[in-house]
Each structure stands twice: as C-alpha cells, then as structure tokens.
A and B are shown apart, each in its own frame.
Chain A
C-alpha cells in the first residue's frame, strides 16, 4: 500500500509529506511535521484542541485526512504570531490570564482568530457559541471570553 505524496501550504510554507490513508491531518501535523502546537484531546471532534484553519475555514484537524490536503492551505497555532510580534489575541490572553494549563489554548486562539476575522464586534453570546466546540476544563471560560471581546474592541479601534 503506497503512501500518499502530498504538497500543501502550511503557515505560509510549501510543505511536502507522505502519509497513510487513515492518518488524519492532526497525525500528520504532530507526528510527521513535528508541529505539536495542535493537540489531540479526543480524536472525535468534540474538544477543539486540534483546531486549525483549512483554506480559511475553521475545522478540527482530527476530522480531516492528511491525504485530502494536496494543494490546500493550512494555518496552525504556530503561524499565528508574526515573527517576534504576538497576535493581539495571544497578547491579550496573557494579559487577561485566559489560560491555566494551556492545553486548550492553541485551539481556542485559532478559533477566536477565525471569529474576529469574520465578526469584529461579537457579543458575549456570539463568542460563547462560536467557541462552544473548544472545551476548557480549567478556566470556566470567563477570562477567555473577556480576552476575546477585549481584543475585538482593541482591533476595532485600529
């Protein structure tokens, strides 16, 4: 059974890899490409810790096959900061202490970024429902929501 030979773009870089049919994009990111920022919490799409952007769409990478990626674009948490400059969301998460253990944080950040790119003035309810697919067990979500809304306000001010 030959492996699939995939060319994709990941965080702006052209990337080439081999994968078996049953390997998910998450498996490929973590085990083949050593991009371990995306996490496996459940492998069933219920926790969001593996969230990435696929062609500009927020998805769970555990629910995407690695062999589907030919010619596609993926953005992971590793691509969120620009050089030494953190994305405003990343900065505000630190300022608001919107993380405790940090395992859900990459997924939450990727998901939050996707929200703010579509809607730069979300209500608290919109933020909560958008992030409903990102489980956090430590924070109770309070400071996460505050950080996202605070970032939205700052980004609106420009």
Chain B
C-alpha cells in the first residue's frame, strides 16, 4: 500500500488519475481507516491531501466563505466569524463522532464517504454550499446536493477531488441550524439529520429558505417543497404543519439497525420543524 502526500492539487489529481488499483483520498481518516481495518477497503494508494494548503484554509470570498475540504470540525468550531455566520454548518460538523473525531474529521471527507447519514451534508445543502472539484479535466463547481448520488456513489470522475466548499454570502437576517436524531446524546450515526437555512424580512416573514434532510433516503436530499411551503410565512403553526408534511413526503428511508421506516419519517418531520424554529430565532437575532 503506497502513501503519498502531495503539496498541490495538480499533484493529487495526477496521482489519483494515474492509479491502477483502488486509490483513496486521505483527509481526516475517520472513515477511511475504519473501513481499511474492517477489510471493507484495501486501497493500493492513499493520497493524503492535508499538505495542500488550499484544502486547509478558511477565507472570506466575495462576501461568502471558502472552506478547504480538509479543514477539521474542530478548526471550524474555533473560527469565530464563520461560526457566527453559519452556526448550523459549524454545529453539524461538530456533531460528527466525538471530540477526538472532530479533531480530524473534515467536510470533504464527510461528503465523499458517501453516507446519506453524514452529519455535515444536510447543513451544507441547506446553506447552498457549492463544492469546487479538481480533476484531470480541470476544475468545476457542483452544488453539494449533486455530489452524493447514493450510498458510496459520488458524482466525481476518476482522479477528481473536492478541493473546497463555497458558502454563499448571507443576506441580513439570515441564519441556519442543524439537528439530528440519535438514540444516545453523542457518538451515534444520525438516524435523521435536518439542516435548515432561512432569511426573514424586517417583519419576520420568511423570504428565502433551504432544507436539507439526511438519513431518510439513498442520498441527502434538498427538499425544495419544504422550503416553498414556509416562504411567505412567519413559521406559524400552520406553516410548521406544512413543513412537517413536506418533510414526510420526501422520505424514502430504510429499516435498519438504527431506525425503522416509520420512525425516520416521524422524526424527520419533527426535526425539520425544530431546526427551522432554531434557524428562525437565529435569523431574527441577526
């Protein structure tokens, strides 16, 4: 098994594109090493991207935020300005695993592991995040909701990596929130994950919204219907009811050791409503 740690995006792309056997990107390693140990993966080549500075920085860009794909959850939490701008994204990244895992886990890895239960992805989708990919054909941008196509299935070509994410500029009176359901208080994989991002006007009426739902389908969903039914409202009880119904309607979950179909559908509705209420409070305060 080879290990390479290139210091440029082009170097990483070349290694991955040219690999003959299975080649994997190493960012935080919190999924890759577990799968290697469990004999699920046996890569011939590991490409560590953490030496590529572009993947490790958080910078303001055109009023938004560019976050490197290999920035850790802990680093996100320590970035005061980013946390203030996108509390939902930051709290989602910091729900992954434990303090130890957050010390290593990254947004790029969480997305590219390809699990519909990934904690940070619903929040990124709700935020309208766009992933910048780099591959043998050059760079391209892809909305995060289009990156994960199914369990362990990504829209990435051979040799393509996620370099960074761009969070769009936030209008005033906007905020986001992420909630997940787990049976314990920490450590579990999300049984349902709901990310909501909202903008309100001076009168407290929702003018824009995005909803991301995780662990209730084969991919993390951008739930446009859920957003539409609350725009124009102040998230009163009737709007909350519509929101819940829209969340329910998109769920196509499975029965597994973490939750039943019924449970996931019920809780998806509850969490979407609760996350929206938190986002609303935060948006009003902004």
**Interface residues in chain A, defined as those with a beta carbon under 8 Å from any beta carbon in chain B:** 1, 4, 20-22, 24, 43-46, 48, 51, 54, 57-60, 62-65, 67-68, 111, 114, 129-134
**Interface residues in chain B, defined as those with a beta carbon under 8 Å from any beta carbon in chain A:** 1-3, 5, 26, 28-30, 33-34, 36-38, 46, 48, 50, 72, 74, 97-101, 103-104, 185-187
The answer to whether B104 touches A46 (Cβ under 8 A) is: no
The answer to whether A133 touches B30 (Cβ under 8 A) is: no
A90 to B187, CA, bound (A): 26
List A contacts of B48 (CB < 8 A). 68
List A contacts of B30 (CB < 8 A). 45, 63
Question: A19 — nearest CB in chain B belongs to which residue?
Answer: B3
The answer to whether B33 touches A21 (Cβ under 8 A) is: no
List A contacts of B187 (CB < 8 A). 46, 132-133
The answer to whether A24 touches B33 (Cβ under 8 A) is: yes
A70 to B159, CA, bound (A): 26
The answer to whether B98 touches A65 (Cβ under 8 A) is: no
List A contacts of B3 (CB < 8 A). 4, 21, 65, 67
Question: B5 — nearest CB in chain A belongs to which residue?
Answer: A68
The answer to whether A44 touches B34 (Cβ under 8 A) is: yes
List A contacts of B104 (CB < 8 A). 57, 59-60, 63-64
Beyond the given pairs A57-B103, A64-B104, A111-B100, 6 more chain A to chain B contacts, judged by CB atoms under 8 angstroms and listed by A's residue number, are A43-B37, A46-B187, A57-B72, A63-B34, A65-B3, A133-B186
List A contacts of B33 (CB < 8 A). 24, 45, 62-65
The answer to whether B46 touches A60 (Cβ under 8 A) is: no
List A contacts of B99 (CB < 8 A). 58, 111, 114, 130-133
List B contacts of A57 (CB < 8 A). 72, 74, 103-104
Query: Least Cβ distance of A110 to chain B in Å?
Result: 9
List B contacts of A21 (CB < 8 A). 1-3, 46
A119 to B167, CA, bound (A): 30
A133 to B94, CA, bound (A): 13
The answer to whether A133 touches B1 (Cβ under 8 A) is: no
The answer to whether B1 touches A45 (Cβ under 8 A) is: no
List A contacts of B72 (CB < 8 A). 57
A62 to B186, CA, bound (A): 19
Query: Least Cβ distance of B5 to chain A in Å?
Result: 8
Question: B48 — nearest CB in chain A belongs to which residue?
Answer: A68
A44 to B99, CA, bound (A): 14
Name the one of B26, B50, B74, B100 contacting A48, with C-beta atoms under 8 angstroms: B100
Q: Can you offer 8 A-B residue contacts whose CB atoms are under 8 A?
A: A44-B34, A45-B33, A51-B100, A111-B99, A131-B99, A132-B185, A133-B99, A133-B101
A22 to B29, CA, bound (A): 12
The answer to whether B36 touches A60 (Cβ under 8 A) is: no
List A contacts of B97 (CB < 8 A). 45, 133
Question: A132 — nearest CB in chain B belongs to which residue?
Answer: B186
The answer to whether B98 touches A44 (Cβ under 8 A) is: no
List A contacts of B36 (CB < 8 A). 22
Question: A56 — nearest CB in chain B belongs to which residue?
Answer: B103
The answer to whether B103 touches A45 (Cβ under 8 A) is: no
List A contacts of B98 (CB < 8 A). 45, 48, 60, 132-134
Query: Least Cβ distance of B220 to chain A in Å?
Result: 22
Question: A24 — nearest CB in chain B belongs to which residue?
Answer: B33
A67 to B3, CA, bound (A): 8
The answer to whether A44 touches B1 (Cβ under 8 A) is: no
Name the one of A43, A45, A65 contacting B100, with C-beta atoms under 8 angstroms: A45
Query: Least Cβ distance of B56 to chain A in Å?
Result: 13
Query: Least Cβ distance of B139 to chain A in Å?
Result: 26
Most B C-beta atoms less than 10 A away, residue of A4, A43, A63, A130? A63
The answer to whether B29 touches A64 (Cβ under 8 A) is: yes
List B contacts of A67 (CB < 8 A). 3
A132 to B96, CA, bound (A): 12
